[in-house]
């Protein structure tokens, strides 16, 4: 199956030349996918709630570790994989932390509390050496919150994202091509993609939901995660920015 997958390449003259048409993560996992990240070249990382996985672009597992539930969305920062964690997502007073792993072999190196993430840390990405953490949102709120930290996870400020209510807050975060892309389950009863500028001003809301993972992979390119088959298989498919849809299938 993997050989067939590797043979299914994007158009030779397109921006995805030389890359697979999709990547299926090897094996099946006890819980659903929470996020993906990667190095933009040859390696992906997958967070399956209580299992953290590193694969190549054929989906072959290179490293796997069991981790405390609920590990959420993740990002790659230098030679470390950083994962958001909370004990009771989407509830006031959640215990929120980030787990820092060595990217090479997923060895845990440190755990850092981020108590400012009041409703549970659900995901994060890094921009200009600062970490931006997103999380849950109880019903009744009409805005989301993005918590900014420096490179040592010292709290700096909270950004207000004028998004309207999003079910269970924001699930995934990705800074790519000069914009923030936030995956939600739903925004006002539609699938949820929020797009914001570098100052976290909302610039678009779209009916597409990269809520279980997205990562930038070169200019104008994203891998977006999808579940399929029995619980829980996951794959990533190529997508590109689209003025009307936010993200659309790669051409």
CA distance 165 to 227: 25
Confidence at residue 40, expressed as pLDDT on a 0 to 100 scale: 97
pLDDT at residue number 148: 98
* Nearest in space to 99 (alpha carbons), one of 157, 34, 39: 34
Does the pLDDT at position 30 exceed 60? yes
CA–CA separation, 14 and 124 (whole Å): 30
Cα separation, 171 vs 126, in Å, equals: 15
For range 14-23, the mean pLDDT? 88
Residue 251, pLDDT above cutoff 90:
no
Q: Looking at residue 15, what is its pLDDT?
A: 76
pLDDT tens per residue, range 63-116: 999 999 999 999 999 999 999 999 988 888 899 999 999 999 999 999 999 999
At 121-135, the pLDDT tens digits run 999 999 999 999 999
pLDDT tens digits for range 138-168: 999 999 999 999 999 999 999 999 999 999 9
Residue 189 pLDDT grade (very low, low, confident, very high; cuts 50, 70, 90) = confident
* Domains identified in the chain and CATH numbers: 34-54+62-215 (2.120.10.30)
User: Dihedrals φ, ψ of 30, to 5°?
Assistant: -65, -30
Interatomic CA distance for residues 191 and 206, integer angstroms:
7
* % of the chain with per-residue pLDDT over 70: 95
């Amino acid at each position: 199956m993997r050989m067939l997958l590797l043979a299914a390449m994007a158009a030779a003259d397109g921006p995805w030349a030389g890359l697979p048409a999709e990547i299926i993560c090897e094996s099946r996992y006890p819980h659903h996918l929470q996020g993906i990240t990667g190095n933009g070249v040859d390696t992906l990382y997958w967070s399956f709630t209580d299992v953290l996985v590193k694969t190549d672009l054929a989906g072959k597992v290179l490293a796997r570790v069991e981790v405390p539930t609920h590990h959420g969305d993740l990002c790659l920062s230098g030679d470390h994989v950083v994962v958001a964690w909370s004990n009771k997502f989407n509830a006031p007073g959640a215990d929120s932390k980030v787990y820092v792993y060595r990217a090479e072999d997923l060895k845990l190196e440190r755990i850092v509390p981020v108590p400012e993430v009041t409703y549970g840390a659900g995901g994060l990405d890094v921009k200009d050496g600062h970490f931006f953490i997103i999380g849950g949102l109880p019903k009744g709120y009409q805005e989301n919150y993005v918590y900014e930290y420096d490179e040592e996870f010292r709290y700096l400020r909270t950004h207000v994202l004028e998004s309207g209510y999003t079910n269970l807050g924001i699930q995934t975060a990705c800074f790519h091509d000069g914009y923030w892309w936030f995956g939600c389950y739903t925004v006002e009863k539609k699938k949820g993609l929020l797009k914001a500028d570098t100052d976290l001003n909302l610039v678009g809301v779209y009916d597409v939901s990269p809520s279980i993972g997205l990562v930038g992979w070169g200019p104008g390119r994203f891998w977006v995660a999808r579940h399929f088959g029995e619980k829980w298989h996951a794959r990533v498919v190529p997508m590109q920015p689209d003025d009307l849809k936010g993200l659309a299938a790669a051409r």
